[in-house]
Structure 1
């Protein structure tokens, strides 16, 4: 339909905010996955050749200095042990190990991961305050032999920044994950060592492996950690990465034995006599570390919030499915017990038309072919095509054509109401074809004097192609389940413009069809209920409507619908405080609309990001199961709706694909609508291009003999 004014354009900057927001959330989730270890392989890469590794390194000492072209190695002095711990800090085991060290007056070097450090910076301070030393063990415990230069830099740099903020110090000591003795250095390890050296790092290998990570028993760990001979050693143990109870117990036995045997146990720096392995951190590094720690905390909160959101969304989806199916069952039983009583009185069918040349003939002919007596009023709202000429040339009995300047659909409907000759009116869009029994079935509902309006059952006529099938599924489920639920709960929010019946006096008493929202059908339906009228649903009153044939047209239509619905909800918000049908609408229908058609769709992009990231960097099984669960919650109601509507189940096969394109389009429409409403902009009426596809609807043969269908189209 046209419009009589040119509104200001809706805002566009929110798309930038959406992209930035989703990018920020994606980055935080990636960070959370990284610090949680989801980006790291559980097993190291295989060892390779050692053709490029200098012999002096392979046979040299465990402290490797590759900061210059001339690589040197160092060994600890005789009868000295550099005690080292990897994979911490751990909130349970690190403090217990520190207590054992304190009791024995021994210090050690803790090679910490950035992930653990980000979650437990207080443990870093405790380690340093007790005279121990810190080293870097990468951020995510990644095998540096398998990653490139950039990832290597990020892994070490991130950990350094966290240490700088937590302790105010920096360290040059690095131990590569999955490393052992010098004889295990292969070409890939050597490349990683040279990269670390270029970054100013000293690489620490080990000469004595306690193998405590295997948890072989306290006695075995003590035996493995006891040196043979008097040569200096670098002892590898672990304070993180799992249950370290055996490590704590073994350390309690090992340290007194070593000290009693005359061994000196100390940090790497003291054991090797290395100068300046620990230094004060600069202000820039401390500030960067603070930002990184804040980001990690924010990532944890975001991940936890998304987890809660997914649980809530799943619970709501399941609850909605149960409520809708229960209400549908109630509605079906009620309709079987109390069929509508036919009314013999004629009904006026009002058709607002603006540039409907392609399909207006099929629309008018289908109305005239109704089995119930009808008068037809076609209001041409200033069409610029041959809409009026086509109607006039039909010269069908009982059809009146009113031509008026373009003023919008509500004005056209009000013109039709003024010209109506009956108490009951049916409003039909100019691209809609009626089933022959539709008008009579709608009229029968008004035998109940409390009924002020009745919704019919709109079906998609042009359901060919993927987009058409998606809309077909949406219409069938929406009309056969949602409207049955609304009917049972007495909170019908919308009598659709495609097919709806009204008491003429009730509409006029409500001020006519409102023109101050873009969803005049929703606005009018809510207004009638607030005036005490009941709104019903007649599933058998079928109308075939032309759905948008392109994504662009669909976007325009749904954008108008969603924005208009928001306008109508805001306009009738006082209904929550009212009694009677209006209060029922306000306390049942409006919250349902806001929850399931506004709030959840706005959160859907975040959920999609979480699921995709879960598939890419986490355990894909929960993500796949969650996706399948949501799909089942759509397929099950879909099967019920299609059965109730007498439709073939084949189109439901497109539901899985609907999750990848159609659903995203729908929630983007909601986001666009909410942003437009929040900005206070006024959305113009979007007139869709018509092709006359509704004339292809599979009507009964008797209707086609009356001249409805493509054979009679001009």
Structure 2
């Protein structure tokens, strides 16, 4: 009975905080809706892949038609055992703005870091190999970086493979939970995860904080914590949309969520001594997320 009351209290708190922050952020969620950014800033889009032969060509096709002139796509293969690398080389090797790299299997974090090391762009956009984007993806991210304090911008992730009940429910969760939480905490610099599926970073800062870490199972969360720890600003773009492949079976879904839970616990443990050095807004956000994980 006590547990039920506790859960009810947490639910009420979540709703109240969400409404408060939602009103505070009202009218300022997407301030760049009507800005057309000049095609000048060099941008690199990084795509790590491992055994992605079923999806990688569709992803790269969506990147090849981006309506921005000064960008490159850096694809890095993490020692795939299928024909992912051969497919990419055969279909995109002739593109002048595509750079194709490969490494032995060292993991996603190391693949991302090696691609970032090869980057010459001022802004890096990291995209999963199974994520499709719209042609305006760069223009949706860039204006936020006019503010020199902004180190990263979270994209808006939707489920692209809504093929059964499991994936359709996940899409609702992405829109009403993950994306909504990022949008309401944008105004207090309380975004805790720049999603690996689609997110943008200022290159100098991502290198300054050491890039991605292979020490946790959620490298995107780990990197976000280090950026916040350094006092930089993280924003959220409602227009930078990525359509990702969600787990389509219960087994795959459970495996993903266990990885997320374990990885986030690793991150919380890793940075437990730094919490009180961060802004009070961040501490409030962290408490909200921890309480929210109970329901």
Is TM more than 0.5 here? yes
Distance (Å, rounded) in 2 between the aligned partners of 1:561 and 1:433:
22
Match of 2:237 in 1: 538
**1:417 alignment partner, SS class:** helix
Match of 1:369 in 2: 65
Match of 2:7 in 1: 313
Which of the numbers 349, 368, 381 marks the counterpart of 2:78?
A: 381
Check conservation: 1:428, 1:500, Cα contact below 8 A: yes
Instruction: Give CA-to-partner distance per residue, 1:122-160, whole Å, 9 cap, x none.
Output: xxxxxxxxxxxxxxxxxxxxxxxxxxxxxxxxxxxxxxx
Task: Tell whether 2:57 aligns with 1:358.
Answer: no
Instruction: Give CA-to-partner distance per residue, 1:399-425, whole Å, 9 cap, x none.
Output: 111011000000000011011120100
Match of 1:493 in 2: 192
* Pairs aligned (count): 290
Q: CA deviation at 1:454?
A: 0.5
Match of 2:122 in 1: 423
Task: Tell whether 2:148 aligns with 1:449.
Answer: yes
Match of 1:120 in 2: none
Instruction: Give CA-to-partner distance per residue, 1:289-334, whole Å, 9 cap, x none.
Output: xxxxxxxxxxxxxxxxx2x332232222122123213323433411
Instruction: Give CA-to-partner distance per residue, 1:619-673, whole Å, 9 cap, x none.
Output: xxxxxxxxxxxxxxxxxxxxxxxxxxxxxxxxxxxxxxxxxxxxxxxxxxxxxxx
Q: Runs of at least 4 residues of structure 1 off by over 6 A?
A: none
Match of 1:400 in 2: 99
Distance (Å, rounded) in 1 between the aligned partners of 2:233 and 2:162:
32
Q: CA deviation at 1:579?
A: 4.3
Instruction: Give CA-to-partner distance per residue, 1:521-544, whole Å, 9 cap, x none.
Output: 000001001011101100111000
Match of 1:462 in 2: 161
User: 1:630-645 residue pairs with structure 2 within 5 A?
Assistant: none
Compared CA separation, residues 398 and 444, structure 1 to 2 (3 A):
same
**1:333 alignment partner, SS class:** coil
Compared CA separation, residues 336 and 540, structure 1 to 2 (3 A):
closer
Q: CA deviation at 1:390?
A: 1.0
Distance (Å, rounded) in 2 between the aligned partners of 1:332 and 1:538:
14
Instruction: Give CA-to-partner distance per residue, 1:578-599, whole Å, 9 cap, x none.
Output: 144xx542x12332232222xx
Structure 1 unaligned spans of 5+: 1-305, 602-714
Distance (Å, rounded) in 1 between the aligned partners of 2:46 and 2:19:
34
**1:334 alignment partner, SS class:** coil
Distance (Å, rounded) in 1 between the aligned partners of 2:72 and 2:20:
39
**2:28 alignment partner, SS class:** helix
Match of 1:567 in 2: 266
Q: CA deviation at 1:562?
A: 1.1
Greater share of residues in helix: 1
Compared CA separation, residues 369 and 526, structure 1 to 2 (3 A):
same
Aligned residues: CA RMSD: 1.7
Instruction: Give CA-to-partner distance per residue, 1:269-308, whole Å, 9 cap, x none.
Output: xxxxxxxxxxxxxxxxxxxxxxxxxxxxxxxxxxxxx2x3
Distance (Å, rounded) in 2 between the aligned partners of 1:343 and 1:322:
40
Which one has a bigger Cα radius of gyration?
1
**2:257 alignment partner, SS class:** helix
Distance (Å, rounded) in 2 between the aligned partners of 1:577 and 1:489:
16
Structure 2 unaligned spans of 5+: none
Match of 1:477 in 2: 176
Distance (Å, rounded) in 2 between the aligned partners of 1:543 and 1:483:
15
Q: CA deviation at 1:343?
A: 5.0
Q: CA deviation at 1:346?
A: 2.7
User: 1:274-293 residue pairs with structure 2 within 5 A?
Assistant: none
Compared CA separation, residues 436 and 314, structure 1 to 2 (3 A):
same
Distance (Å, rounded) in 1 between the aligned partners of 2:36 and 2:29:
12
Greater share of residues in strand: 2
Check conservation: 1:341, 1:445, Cα contact below 8 A: no
Task: Tell whether 2:215 aligns with 1:516.
Answer: yes
Distance (Å, rounded) in 2 between the aligned partners of 1:584 and 1:516:
26
Q: CA deviation at 1:369?
A: 1.1
Compared CA separation, residues 341 and 536, structure 1 to 2 (3 A):
farther
Distance (Å, rounded) in 2 between the aligned partners of 1:430 and 1:385:
14
Instruction: Give CA-to-partner distance per residue, 1:668-694, whole Å, 9 cap, x none.
Output: xxxxxxxxxxxxxxxxxxxxxxxxxxx
Check conservation: 1:343, 1:447, Cα contact below 8 A: no
Match of 2:37 in 1: 342
Q: Which shifted more, 504-513 or 351-360? A: 504-513
Compared CA separation, residues 479 and 438, structure 1 to 2 (3 A):
farther
User: 1:5-404 residue pairs with structure 2 within 5 A?
Assistant: 306=1, 308-335=2-29, 342-344=37-39, 345-373=41-69, 374-395=71-92, 396-404=95-103
User: 1:686-701 residue pairs with structure 2 within 5 A?
Assistant: none
